[in-house]
């Protein structure tokens, strides 16, 4: 292991920190690129998809910006956790984009983060954007969307990102040590590792599974 890839945790819990290199690093890198859109007061950020990455995205946005964070998902428990973390939640279903625009006073969001990447979520993000906004696609569900000069807010940006850098990871760990990021974790013994994979595959996990060999 190259020494530059090791990030000191200090006295922080290494088990709870296990998801940071993925579930926190990925949304942090996406959010860092959109910080210019979220500078100043009166800005709005949208998080689509409130799984492991989405929950941490809400926390990072709350810690690093003064933006109103709007979050949406189809799972009530996921939305409840996001609301506890300060997000304004919008349930999935008909009228999502209209409700999001209503929250923003009709202007739309300055930055949207699609943690799903399916066709419906991409279209929702596009329909929710403000003039000069930025949509960052993080999820890789393989969705597609259309671009049209007159149906897309002027001077808006659609981009994608994947994972992050070692430098980003140092920032993420610092936020974790300050208590600004708290990953949702389910712990499993090594004997139960296959059960963790089964729950992951079936969509039963509500947090990041961490297999702890010595437990």
Q: What is the pLDDT of residue 1?
A: 82
Instruction: Write down the mean pLDDT value for the chain.
Output: 94
DSSP label at residue 148: -
* Sign of CA pseudo-dihedral 164, 165, 171, 172: positive
* In the block, residue with structure tokens 């696609």: 137
Domain extent listing, the chain: 17-160, 186-215
pTM score = 0.94
Considering the segment(s) 17-160 as one domain, its CATH architecture is 3-Layer(aba) Sandwich (3.40)
Tell me: the pLDDT tens digits for 166-214?
A: 999 999 999 999 999 999 999 999 999 999 999 999 989 888 999 998 8
For residues 47-65, give the mean pLDDT.
96
CA distances from 115 to 10, 67, 86, 100, 112 (A): 30, 18, 18, 17, 10
Q: Give the range among 4-18, 27-41, 71-85, 90-104 with minimum mean pLDDT.
A: 4-18
Tokens, residue 69: 């964070």
- Is the model's pLDDT at 37 over the cut of 80? yes
pLDDT, tens only, 132-145: 999 999 999 999 99
């Amino acid at each position: 292991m190259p020494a530059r890839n090791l990030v000191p945790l200090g006295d922080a819990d290494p088990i709870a920190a296990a998801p940071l290199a993925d579930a926190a690093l990925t949304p942090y890198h996406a959010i860092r690129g959109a910080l210019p859109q979220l500078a100043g007061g009166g800005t709005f950020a949208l998080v689509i998809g409130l799984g492991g990455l989405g929950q941490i995205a809400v926390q990072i946005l709350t810690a690093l910006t003064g933006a109103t964070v709007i979050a949406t998902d189809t799972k009530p428990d996921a939305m409840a956790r996001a609301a506890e973390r300060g997000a304004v939640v919008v349930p999935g279903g008909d009228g999502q984009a209209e409700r999001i625009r209503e929250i923003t006073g009709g202007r739309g969001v300055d930055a949207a983060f699609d943690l799903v990447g399916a066709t419906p979520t991409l279209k929702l993000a596009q329909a929710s954007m403000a003039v000069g906004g930025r949509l960052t696609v993080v999820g890789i569900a393989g969705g597609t969307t259309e671009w049209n000069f007159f149906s897309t807010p002027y001077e808006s940006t659609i981009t994608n990102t994947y994972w992050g850098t070692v430098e980003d990871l140092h920032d993420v760990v610092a936020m974790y040590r300050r208590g600004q990021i708290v990953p949702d974790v389910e712990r499993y013994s090594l004997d139960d590792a296959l059960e963790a994979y089964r729950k992951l595959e079936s969509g039963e996990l509500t947090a990041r599974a961490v297999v702890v060999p010595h437990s």
